[in-house]
Amino acid sequence: MALRYGFLSTYPPTQCGLATFTAALHKQLAGPAAGGSSGVVRLLDRPGAAVPPQTAPTAVVGELVAGTRDGPARAARLLNRFDVAVVQHEYGVYGGRDGDEVLTVLHGLNVPVIVVLHTVLVRPTRHQRHVLEAVVAAAAAVVVMTETARVRLVAGYRVDPRAVSVIPHGADDNRTALSVRAGRPTVLTWGLIGPGKGIEWGIAAMAALTDLVPAPRYLVAGETHPKVLAREGTAYRDSLAAQARQLGVSGSVVFDARYLDAASLAEMVRGADVILLPYDSRDQVTSGVLIEAVAAHKPIVATRFPHAVELLGDGVGLLVPHRDPAAIATAVRSVIGDNGIARGLVRAAAARAPELLWPTVADRYRQLAAGLGARTGSSMTDRPAAAVTATL
């Protein structure tokens, strides 16, 4: 009998990487083989963000609104009706100081807990360190998505290294063969847009490629991040458009501000000649966009953030310094101007991609959950299934 997984996370229609990740993993773990008996307690930052019950995703069995007095205890009761709780952790998605509301949920759980860490800070505040160490201590197993994150966690925090597993972020199979395309080559950056994405460096790089015939098109796809939009509106996006005009490349830079569904995004990625990740962060240990680009067998140019160094450093992609438009331009020029380089990158990505696909990743989670049952001596599938639906 398949295990029933209870997830605690943001979830669509919320637009964030955590929600997309959980929806994909839930789909794999709660498929036909699992009898569809897994469910999600969805995190919301305010009551008004709740979706009416008649339109809520069927996977959602309850909602935890940040800061509600009895919400964490109710969330724990819901998750206890499953065999395993899978808790996604980011500081900003839970209520309380540095998201410490999650600790109340964890303390109320009596089923095995798998905590998935999406961020491991190098220089946490004292309270951030306390929260993360307490989250890890409450878990039967901890998942990080890169070896860099594992090393950082074990070296910088009080954790039991034996409890930490590395399971990569998953991706759909969106592979496409490299072919000679007519017309302008497309350089693609996608994701929720906001400061730190480094798109200004990509635009500056396009200004150094105007001598190419035809000159590449830089497609920037994605909505402004909801939290950025609430804080400062579209100022960052507007500054990018102004920069493109000032550099004389407004005809080569295209903004697609839609939040694309999976099928539309997959089609866009397949149509790109180069994926560009010009991120400013020097600490980012997990990037779903990076994983998806590799799984699609695409040539990638990325700044040297930790996940990119780990995944692309052996020839799967081209790494460039941060905030260096000239280096980005040189790398992009080499990919679109030399078919041999492009094909080499595609072959290297194709060799790495199988371990990153969602079915493989989900199997790793199944094995981890089954191992928890074996170590605790519990029979997690003996309990009767229960209908779990609530609003917190």
198 and 133 co-located in one domain: no
Cα R_g (the chain), whole angstroms: 22
What's this model's pTM, rounded to 2 decimal places?
Answer: 0.89
Q: Report yes or no: 309 and 147 within 8 Å, Cβ to Cβ.
A: no
In a domain, 77, yes or no: yes
371 and 276 co-located in one domain: no
How many domains does one find in the chain?
2
Tokens 């500081």 -> residue? 91
Measured from the Cβ of residue 288, the count of other Cβ atoms closer than 10 Å reads 19
341 and 321 co-located in one domain: yes
158 and 195 co-located in one domain: no
CATH number of the domain to which 108 belongs: 3.40.50.2000
Q: Report yes or no: 22 and 7 within 8 Å, Cβ to Cβ.
A: yes
In a domain, 386, yes or no: no
Can you tell me the distance from the alpha carbon of 139 to that of 365, in angstroms, rounded to the nearest whole number?
A: 14
Per-residue pLDDT of the chain (392 residues; tens, 9 = 90+): 689 999 999 999 888 899 999 999 999 998 665 555 799 999 998 765 555 444 456 799 999 999 999 999 999 999 999 999 999 999 999 999 999 999 999 999 999 999 999 999 999 999 999 999 999 999 999 999 999 999 999 999 999 999 999 999 999 998 876 555 668 999 999 999 999 999 999 999 999 999 999 999 999 999 998 889 989 999 999 999 999 999 999 999 999 998 888 899 999 999 999 999 999 999 999 999 999 999 999 999 999 999 999 999 999 999 999 999 999 999 999 999 999 999 999 999 999 999 999 999 999 999 999 999 655 544 444 443 333 334 34
In a domain, 80, yes or no: yes
136 and 26 co-located in one domain: yes
In a domain, 385, yes or no: no
Q: Print the domain residue range for 370.
A: 5-170+357-376
Cα–Cα nearest to 72, from 104, 100, 47, 40 = 104
In a domain, 149, yes or no: yes
349 and 217 co-located in one domain: yes
In a domain, 299, yes or no: yes
In a domain, 383, yes or no: no
Can you tell me the distance from the alpha carbon of 382 to that of 380, in angstroms, rounded to the nearest whole number?
A: 6
Can you tell me the distance from the alpha carbon of 1 to that of 173, in angstroms, rounded to the nearest whole number?
A: 27
In a domain, 391, yes or no: no
Cα–Cα nearest to 2, from 109, 84, 57 = 84
Encoded tokens for 335 = 């990919």
Three-state DSSP class for residue 41: strand
341 and 368 co-located in one domain: no
